[in-house]
Amino acid sequence: MSFNINDKGYYGDFGGAYIPEMLYPNVEELRQNYLKIMAEPSFKEEFDQLLKDYVGRPSPLYFAKRLSEKYNTKIYLKREDLNHTGAHKVNNTIGQILMAQRLGKTRIIAETGAGQHGVATATVCALMGMECIVYMGEIDIARQAPNVARMKMLGAEVRPALSGSRTLKDATNEAIRDWINNPVDTHYIIGSVVGPHPYPDMVARFQAVVSEEIKWQLKDKEGREKPDHVIACVGGGSNAAGAFYHYLDDTDVNLIAVEAAGKGIHSGESAATSVLGKEGIIHGSKTLLMQTHDGQITEPYSISAGLDYPGVGPMHAHLYKTGRAEFISITDDQAMTAGLELSQLEGIIPAIESSHAFAVFDHKKFNPDDVVVINLSGRGDKDLQNYIDYFKL
Amino acid sequence: MNRINQKLKEDKKLLSIYFSAGYPTLNDTVSIIEDLEKNGVDMIEIGLPFSDPLADGPTIQASSTQALKNGMTTDTLFNQLKDIRKTVSIPLIIMGYFNPMLQYGVEAFCKKCQAIGIDGLIIPDLPVDVYNEQYKTIFEKYGLINVFLITPQTSVERINFIDSISNGFIYMVSSASVTGSSSGFGTEQTDYFKRIADMKLKNPQIVGFGISDNKTFTQATTYAKGAIIGSAFIKHLTKHGNTNIDNFTDSILK
């Protein structure tokens, strides 16, 4: 069994491109070209060079000594938090802006929830001198003022999504509508492994640099390419897709996906899609999503804006359904506590998204000899106000 | 013969109206359908509201959101429509997004449509190839015509494919846009209408998106068999509730 995508754009039962005909030419153009373009030597060269000189890759694989002592296992942190713009998101936006250029596009649109993907998109648009429009829910604009300011400073236009619940899913709807209205000159940079095929696969391939590096870095440090466990948080699932990618078919590597349980899985305020979701269609992809009995998409909740999405990428839906990955749900409180602990044991303040992954150590016992790699997907600067409010700092 | 095919045989330009079921108030659905028929409308698209209508602009999304707030569900709509064929004889089409149908069960949904007397479905986010491979036989079993969209960007090859698997009409999206966003047609649109007409497809075309008044209706139907009005009618409902529908249809058909 393969856990990667098949030639029809599906991971098992999940994926595909459930899009209105108005989007078909754009998505089809991308589908026909993305693998070809990614395989071009000039593309690879430019992508690798920018990841190295602009993003600062490879990101370190750091042995977390004090954390390892506390949990009596060997814990390595993949330091995506040290990337330019502060998270793994930029790996994907660098790849997609180069893709857009090669497709002859001159205008970039993106959606953003917390603003991390918006900032990463605005950054690469500034780098390449391209027009950039970022859709963001009106409510998120109010909640994430510093990132809105960053995007504006980088020259992007931030357009409020005023429809529906005025958060990430609505920002995504607005970006899709913009693409329908601008079918020729525009490329839509989706920020996660979601959306119609080929986006989940393309974004996973751009993020795959994370596990590609883990392999040789671990070989250097432990004498083997394969850890026993890889842990990553999952909202849409792009950092997890990157950390899992080169281990998908190595079934002796245990994959652990950490979702946001919000105020508790059954509290009515949660984003634990694997538990609460049912199969259906969201943003052009057949996957697991949170919805009413009647098929209306519901609004998720998490303290972490980056995990606050009612669906999950089709790769993760497949990993869940087949049991290839273990899914664990972590509440707001557990995540915040784990974030504080990492700060004080290792001197690293994580993004609240990543804090969810660290909370796993309180819920799951690892053997002393186990090598555990945890993807530290982003830094906590953007979340400082949340930490201040929560801990009354 | 399906009511849609019968209607398409009539020697006239067809006016089709879209509205969101359960809007402006939950129980307006039936009276709006009856009034539209009385006032000369040829075909009705009953919108099954969805939380995330990707292909629709703000007017239809707002009506859809309000309908959901009013309590509209798939079962409620089927209940409202259960006796509709006692009073209404024009073709009725349900237009909605795929997820609510998938949750209801595609076969159960189609079966219910047949029992009520629904003639066809328009599902913008059910792709042509998925329909063709997985659902065509179910739709046909229950006598439902599935209507596909084409746009100015759709290739000739794809239009021909869509024509080959269609058995009612082709929904011709007037321009690259979501619903309700255009104001009047220019030469770009009329050239496109003519280009499609010249293809002599086996299925007639009905134009939608951007038709709001007598002028745009006339332009759209110069080459096409008919036209669909959605957002402009929703705006009428927002202003007048379920009353004065004759004023609206008169303004289009004058």
Given a cut of 70, the residues of chain B with pLDDT beneath it are 182-183
> Is position A189 within any domain?
yes
| Inter-chain residue contact B55 with A24, CB threshold 8 Å | no
* Cα A280 to Cα A284: distance, rounded to the nearest angstrom: 10
B68 CB neighbours in chain A (<8 A) are 296
DSSP string, A31-57: HHHHHHHHHSHHHHHHHHHHIIIII-P
**Number of residues that this document lists for chain A:** 393
A246 and A199 fall within a common domain: no
Instruction: Kindly state the tokens that stand for A41.
Output: 């030597």
For residue A5, being part of any structural domain is answered with no
User: What residues contact residue B194 under an 8 Å CB cut-off, 6+ apart?
Assistant: B223
Residue B144 carries which DSSP code?
P
Same domain for A122 and A160, yes or no, is: yes
Give the minimum alpha-carbon distance from A243 to chain B in angstroms, rounded to a whole number: 31
In a domain, A319, yes or no: yes
Residues A142 and A287 in one domain: no
Distance CA(A386)–CA(A382), nearest Å, equals 9
Structural domain contains residue A158: yes
Q: Does B126 touch chain A (CB under 8 A)?
A: yes
User: Is-catalytic flag, A157?
Assistant: no
CATH number, domain of A162, equals 3.40.50.1100
Residue B5 forms contact with A (CB below 8 Å):
no
A8 located within any domain: no
Domain-ending residue, one of A203, A238, A271 = A203
What domains, with CATH codes, occur in chain B? 13-253 (3.20.20.70)
Structural domain contains residue A7: no
Query: What pLDDT is recorded for position B182?
Result: 66
Question: What is this structure's pTM?
Answer: 0.97
The reply to whether A39 and A80 lie within a common domain is no
- Same domain assignment for residues A184 and A221: no
Name the pLDDT band for A165 (thresholds 50, 70, 90): confident
Is A76 in the same domain as A127? no
The catalytic site residues of B sit at 45, 56
Where is the domain boundary, A183, A203, A223? A203
Same domain, A182 and A132: yes
Which residues does chain A have within 8 Å of residue B155's beta carbon, measured at their own beta carbons? Answer: 25
Number of domains in chain A: 2
> What single string gives the DSSP state of each residue in B145-195?
EEE-EE-TTS-HHHHHHHHHH-SS-EEEE-SSS-TT---S--HHHHHHHHH
- A287 and A220 belong to one structural domain: yes
Q: Is residue A10 part of a domain?
A: no
pLDDT digits (tens, 9 = 90+) for A241-264: 999 999 999 999 999 999 999 999
Taking only the tens place, the pLDDT of each residue in A205-239 is 999 999 999 999 999 999 999 999 999 999 999 99
Say if A160 falls within a structural domain: yes
Q: Are residues A74 and A222 in the same domain?
A: yes
Mutant choice from B147, B156, B178, B183 vs A, greatest count of A C-beta within 10 A: B178
Residues of A in contact with B149 (CB under 8 A): 20-22
Q: B128 vs A296: CB contact, 8 Å cut-off? A: no
Q: Are residues A285 and A354 in the same domain?
A: yes
* Cross-chain Cβ contact B100/A296 below 8 Å: yes
ipTM over 0.90: yes
Q: Do B99 and A297 touch (CB under 8 A)?
A: yes
Whole domain around residue A225: which residue ranges?
56-87+208-391
Residues A44 and A110 in one domain: yes
Q: State the best of A7, A294, A297, A299 to mutate against chain B, taking most chain B CBs within 10 Å.
A: A294
Span B224-253, pLDDT tens digits: 999 999 999 999 999 999 999 999 999 999
Please tell me whether residues A27 and A107 are part of one structural domain: yes
Residue pLDDT, tens place only, A297-337: 999 999 998 898 999 999 999 999 999 999 999 999 999 99
Of the residues A203, A223, A245, which one is the last residue of a structural domain?
A203
Kindly tell me if the per-residue pLDDT of A114 is higher than 90: no
